Amino acid sequence: MLWIGIESSCDESAIAVVENIGGKNVIMDSRCITQAPLHKPFGGIVPEFAVREHSKNLPILLKDMISSGSLNLEKLQAIAVTEGPGLMASLLVGNSFARGLALGLGIPVFGINHLEGHLFSPFIEREQKLRFPFLGLIVSGGHTLLARVDGPRDYHKIGSTIDDAAGEAFDKVARLLGLSYPGGPEIEKYAQLGNPHAHTFPLSLMEKNNFNFSFSGLKTAVKIFLEKNKAMLYQNQQFLFDICASFQETVAKIIEQKTIAAAQSFSLPLISASGGVLANKRIRELLEKKAFEKGIEVLFAEKKFCTDNAAMIAFVGALFYALGLPITKSFDVNPNFSLFDFKTETMINRF
Ligand code: ATP
Ligand code: MG
Ligand code: FE
């Protein structure tokens, strides 16, 4: 069965082609156009620009896939589209595009939760590793959460951030340091040149059996430290590198400690780790090392599938369909769509 996935929840327009070949869901093509440089000067996403860019870029991506031979519309059988969470305006563009295409081709559209895309992204092209229950860790620009995954659309919250997401903390600290958006890759680049033990920043909510996260105190600690040592930032490059390394190390420790504690506490021998922040080499390394020591298997999404992409959306559609998830009909986008909102375990055909 041939699927495409469409993702437009934030500032990435993305389409991917997934084909179920002999029971395995294979990514045939995955393309993305990011709007990050366009929004950069505004320090956040400007919805009007995002809408215009998605409207322009989704047809470009589709045409490119057709002309390069990776997509044959005559053979396309289903569309998976991100239904939320995300920016209402951005979601509507992807959904209208998906519905228009589906109407023209007479095929169904399935609405996918963006976070379940992240949650299952470590299993892309590693489906043989998929087994329930597992511990899902998502660390992205808008979310930091731990969930027990008992099956498709059967998710139970273990913990989440009570304030900023980890990616948001990377972006805010980068801004304080005069680095550009998105801050994660910038901080990682400079951290490689710094000493992770140069400064001690606070770990938060570390008491036993607290699986929630908090990153706003960490950001404030960096802010206060910088206010006291402002001149150093401009005089000494090593000072910048050391802050980046120390901040990154603190985030890595928080994520590692919470995740391993949750896996042990809920007896979950498999962790799926995904989201933009888990593209970070040091964070992956520390979590992997501790998990190995405890005999827990951790699967990270491939780096290219950590940040927003459509392969994960198409993959979830194809996977759930193949697993025989029942299908219902509905028709909506949901900017606040929570992972824990599924009332019945169904695939939603929105055509
Ligand atoms: P959500 O999925 O929660 O709706 P989002 O889709 O915007 O949010 P992602 O695309 O998964 O989030 O991740 C983007 C975030 O990841 C940004 O905050 C960015 O700074 C961070 N990030 C990207 N690469 C790295 C890296 N190498 N190290 C740390 N953080 C990173
Ligand atoms: Mg993004
Ligand atoms: Fe995302």
257 CA to centre of ligand 3 in angstroms: 23
User: pTM of the entire structure?
Assistant: 0.94
Report the pLDDT value the prediction gives residue 231, as an integer from 0 to 100. 84
66 is known to lie in a ligand binding site: no
Question: What domains can you pick out in the chain, each with its CATH number?
Answer: 2-123+305-346 (3.30.420.40), 133-300 (3.30.420.40)
Residue 84 and residue 337 in contact, taking contact as beta carbons nearer than 8 Å: yes
C-alpha 97/C-alpha 235 separation (Å) is: 51
Mean pLDDT by 10 residues, the chain (351 residues): 96 97 94 92 87 98 98 96 95 96 94 95 96 97 96 94 97 93 94 97 91 96 94 88 98 98 97 97 98 98 96 96 74 87 60 49
C-alpha 98/C-alpha 76 separation (Å) is: 12
21 CA to centre of ligand 2 in angstroms: 30
Contacts of 108 (CB under 8 A, 6+ apart): 78, 79, 102, 327, 349, 351
Ligand 1 pocket test, candidate residues 91, 170, 190, 282, most atoms within 8 A of CB: 170
Contacts of 167 (CB under 8 A, 6+ apart): 139, 140, 141, 142, 144, 182, 184, 275, 276, 277
Report the pLDDT value the prediction gives residue 140, as an integer from 0 to 100. 95
| Cα separation of the two ends of the chain | 18
Residue type (1 letter), 220: T
114 is known to lie in a ligand binding site: yes
> For residue 226, which phi and psi values (nearest 5 degrees)?
-70, -40
| β-bridge partners, 113 | 84
Nearest atom in ligand 1 to 171's CA: 20
Residue 274 and residue 315 in contact, taking contact as beta carbons nearer than 8 Å: no
Report the pLDDT value the prediction gives residue 328, as an integer from 0 to 100. 61
C-alpha 50/C-alpha 47 separation (Å) is: 5
Ligand 1 pocket test, candidate residues 160, 186, 187, 277, most atoms within 8 A of CB: 277
